């Protein structure tokens, strides 16, 4: 599993093997959709970086817009 935290959502998708099941969650409580993936940053990932990854392992990324703070998500 590559380190995705800090990358744009678009770059994070590109770093994962084709066919990887990716769940994207808006870290704010607003329930937004990350339509423009280059404008969203990965704040958290599961599984962690350096964890062995295969196509059966789902990947979860929690994202915010780049101008938002990952440590204090908007509510």
pLDDT tens sequence across 15-30:
999 889 999 999 988 8
Identify which of 50, 73, 63 has the alpha carbon closest to the alpha carbon of residue 22. 63
Q: Is the pTM of this model over 0.95?
A: no
Domain ranges of the chain: 9-65
CA–CA gap between residue 72 and residue 69 (Å, rounded):
5
Residue whose token pair is 């993936």 = 37
pLDDT < 70: residue spans in the chain: 75
């Amino acid at each position: 599993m590559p380190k995705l935290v800090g990358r744009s959502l678009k770059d994070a998708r590109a770093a994962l093997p084709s066919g990887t099941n990716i769940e994207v969650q808006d870290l704010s409580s607003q329930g937004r959709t990350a339509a423009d993936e280059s404008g969203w940053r990965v704040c958290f990932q599961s599984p962690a970086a350096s964890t062995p990854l295969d196509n059966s392992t789902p990947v979860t990324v929690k994202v915010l817009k780049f101008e938002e703070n990952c440590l204090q998500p908007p509510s």
